[in-house]
């Protein structure tokens, strides 16, 4: 296996949306995103509603065709695969959704849903029941549940079945798009612990999309923060939560009391994210940013490396790293 399970470079997804009878506008849902994910690693992706998280996920599993960029899995460029090659690749990247009904057919028993995935893996019919039992026990569900339909399960059980089904094809990467968002807090913690155990045992990598920063802090090794289609901050989870660099990241963290770092200046995130079809000039966050300077209104900040594994797209934050005074005092 290569060092990167998954590498995304310059991913761009624009939707042309009709407006009225003649006009149309282009929604820049994802606008030049780079992401890398190593085997056995968890990359968290956060950002407000509409920032492009699910569009990235859908591009990765070929449900949305990107306008630009490349997606590499292991050694293979999978961006424009078709036919049999695409089917082979699809197995290596699985998705677990917020609503298990998006991946589970309500008319199929648990046994058949998992069995179908095992058939995709090429497992012979006589070996499937044993493997279904093994997968159910892997997600801490009793074998007796195999005869049930999704509608006869609790939310947590259904999500465990979705995970078992994803695991059935032995993927390299599982994309969890708000996979625990609909679960009660105690069930959520159980499912997150389960995902961690599975990762430890199998080395599967997770791309973990969540609104909930406390969830990401618990599961993610690294975190990427998105704002209107772009990554605005990226870094190791511990450092990013202890010392967020982008004012937007600070505002997101400040909104979650349980993850607020000691001494972090509390910021209130006022207003709404901009229209992705018509973002403001300069830094798209500047109209909401308490620290904006003139440059922010004029020049769009690029994602800039400011430390090992850390990058930020913010003129003010990058300046503070460059000025000698703040070198001794990077947290401002
Ligand atoms: N098929 C589509 N056609 C047109 N616009 C779309 C389409 N899919 C997504 N969009 C737009 O792209 C942007 C990003 O949407 P996306 O669903 O990726 O956001 P998200 O970060 O997953 O949000 P949420 O947190 O609400 O799930 C939004 O402005 C959305 O309206
Ligand atoms: Mg989404």
Question: What pLDDT, in 10s, does the model give residues 267-319?
Answer: 567 788 899 899 999 999 999 999 999 999 999 999 999 999 999 999 999 99
Instruction: Report the nearest atom of ligand 1 relative to the CA of 58.
Output: 18
Work out the pLDDT band at 260, boundaries 50, 70, 90: low
Mean pLDDT in the chain?
90
39-53, 77-91, 180-194, 265-279: the lowest-pLDDT one: 265-279
- The bound ligand whose nearest atom lies closest to the alpha carbon of 226 is 1
Torsion of CA 212, 217, 219, 225, to 10 degrees: 70
Residues, CB-to-ion distance under 5 Å, ligand 2: 54
Q: DSSP 3-state helix, strand, coil percentages of the chain (rounded to 5)?
A: 40, 25, 35
- Cβ of 54 below 6 Å from ligand 1: yes
- Cβ of 273 below 6 Å from ligand 1: no
> Which of 49, 254, 121, 312 lies closest to 330, judged by CA?
312
Give the strand pairing for 23-37 and 205-209: unpaired
Q: Are 286 and 300 in contact (CB under 8 A)?
A: no
Whether the predicted pLDDT of 325 surpasses 70: no
- Taking CA atoms only, the protein residue closest to ligand 1 atom 10 is 29
- Cβ of 210 below 6 Å from ligand 1: no
- Cβ of 52 below 6 Å from ligand 1: yes
Tell me the average pLDDT across 203-216.
95
Q: Are 237 and 59 in contact (CB under 8 A)?
A: no
Whether the predicted pLDDT of 67 surpasses 50: yes
Whether the predicted pLDDT of 30 surpasses 90: yes
- Cβ of 276 below 6 Å from ligand 1: yes
Whether the predicted pLDDT of 70 surpasses 90: yes
With the most atoms of ligand 1 within 8 angstroms of its CB, the residue from 51, 97, 211, 272 to mutate is 51
Question: 0.85 exceeded by the pTM?
Answer: yes
Predicted pLDDT at 2: 44
The span from the CA of 312 to the CA of 306, in Å, is: 7
Distance 79 CA to ligand 2 centre (A): 21
- Cβ of 156 below 6 Å from ligand 1: no
- The bound ligand whose nearest atom lies closest to the alpha carbon of 52 is 1
Q: Are 230 and 75 in contact (CB under 8 A)?
A: no
- Taking CA atoms only, the protein residue closest to ligand 1 atom 7 is 15
Q: How many CB atoms lie within 10 A of CB 295?
A: 14
The span from the CA of 164 to the CA of 100, in Å, is: 12
> Which of 49, 159, 156 lies closest to 101, judged by CA?
159
Burial class (CB in 10 A: 0-12, 13-18, 19+), 15: middle
With the most atoms of ligand 1 within 8 angstroms of its CB, the residue from 33, 46, 55 to mutate is 55
With the most atoms of ligand 1 within 8 angstroms of its CB, the residue from 13, 27, 95, 211 to mutate is 27
- Cβ of 50 below 6 Å from ligand 1: yes
Tell me the average pLDDT across 30-52.
96
Predicted pLDDT at 261: 57
Work out the pLDDT band at 100, boundaries 50, 70, 90: confident
> Which of 227, 180, 267, 168 lies closest to 33, judged by CA?
227
Work out the pLDDT band at 20, boundaries 50, 70, 90: confident
To the nearest 10 degrees (0 to 180), the angle between helices 155-168 and 185-202 is 20
The CA-based angle 326-244-304, given to 5 degrees, is: 70
């Amino acid at each position: 296996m290569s060092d990167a399970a998954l590498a995304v470079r310059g991913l761009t997804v624009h939707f042309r949306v009709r407006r009225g009878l003649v006009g149309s506008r282009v929604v820049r849902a994802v606008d030049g995103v780079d992401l890398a994910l190593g085997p056995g690693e968890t990359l968290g992706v956060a950002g407000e509603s509409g920032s492009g998280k699910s569009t990235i996920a859908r591009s990765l599993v070929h449900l949305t065709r990107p306008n630009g960029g490349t997606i590499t899995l292991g050694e293979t460029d999978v961006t424009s695969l078709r036919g049999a090659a695409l089917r082979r690749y699809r197995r290596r990247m699985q998705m677990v959704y917020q609503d298990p009904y998006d991946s589970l057919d309500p008319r199929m028993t648990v046994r058949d849903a998992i069995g179908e995935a095992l058939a995709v893996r090429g497992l012979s019919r006589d070996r499937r029941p044993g493997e279904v039992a093994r997968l159910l026990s892997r997600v801490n569900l009793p074998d007796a549940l195999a005869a049930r339909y999704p509608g006869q399960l609790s939310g947590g059980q259904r999500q465990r079945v979705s995970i078992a089904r994803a695991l059935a094809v032995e993927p390299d990467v599982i994309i969890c798009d708000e996979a625990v968002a609909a679960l009660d807090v105690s069930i959520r913690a159980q499912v997150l612990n389960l995902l961690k155990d599975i990762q430890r045992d199998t080395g599967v990598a997770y791309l973990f999309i969540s609104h909930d920063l406390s969830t990401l802090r618990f599961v993610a090794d690294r975190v990427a923060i998105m704002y209107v289609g772009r990554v605005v901050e990226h870094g190791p989870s511990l450092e990013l939560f202890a010392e967020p660099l982008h004012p937007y990241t600070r505002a997101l963290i400040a909104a979650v009391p349980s993850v607020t770092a000691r001494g972090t200046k509390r910021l209130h995130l006022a207003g709404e994210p901009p229209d992705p079809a018509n973002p403001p000039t300069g830094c798209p966050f500047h109209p909401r940013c308490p620290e904006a300077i003139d440059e922010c209104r004029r020049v769009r900040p690029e994602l800039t490396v400011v430390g090992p594994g850390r990058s930020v797209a913010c003129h003010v934050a990058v300046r503070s790293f460059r000025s000698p005074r703040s070198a001794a005092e990077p947290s401002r």
